[in-house]
């Protein structure tokens, strides 16, 4: 399954926002791969929920935000 690229972007921005108050957090690129993957997976679920709630547009393509692989 391909991940909607917006999920990774959402995860990165959420991490950046968290760093505004938790300044000891490493930058996105300094996080272990497993942490970036976990954050992206969580963001993918939130993005899917936003799409299904009608507050975010679906992405193009069958694999975007769940697509045919639900």
Are 1 and 69 a contacting pair, CB within 8 Å?
Answer: yes
**Spatial distance between the Cα atoms of 6 and 50, rounded to a whole number of angstroms:** 12
In the DSSP assignment, the letter for residue 31 is S
* pTM exceeds 0.75 for this model: yes
- Would you say residue 69 has pLDDT above 80? no
pLDDT at position 60, please?
A: 78
Q: Which residue has the higher pLDDT, 3 or 30?
A: 30
Closest CA to 49 of 10, 2, 1: 10
Q: What is the pLDDT of residues 11-66, one digit of tens each?
A: 999 999 999 998 899 999 999 999 999 999 999 999 999 999 999 999 875 445 44
**Spatial distance between the Cα atoms of 9 and 19, rounded to a whole number of angstroms:** 15
């Amino acid at each position: 399954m391909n991940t909607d690229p917006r999920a990774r972007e959402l995860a990165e921005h959420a991490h950046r926002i968290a760093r505004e108050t938790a300044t000891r957090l490493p930058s996105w690129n300094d996080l272990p791969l497993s942490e970036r993957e976990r954050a992206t997976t969580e963001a993918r679920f939130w993005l899917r929920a936003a799409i299904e709630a009608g507050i975010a547009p679906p992405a193009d393509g069958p694999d975007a935000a769940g697509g045919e692989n639900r």
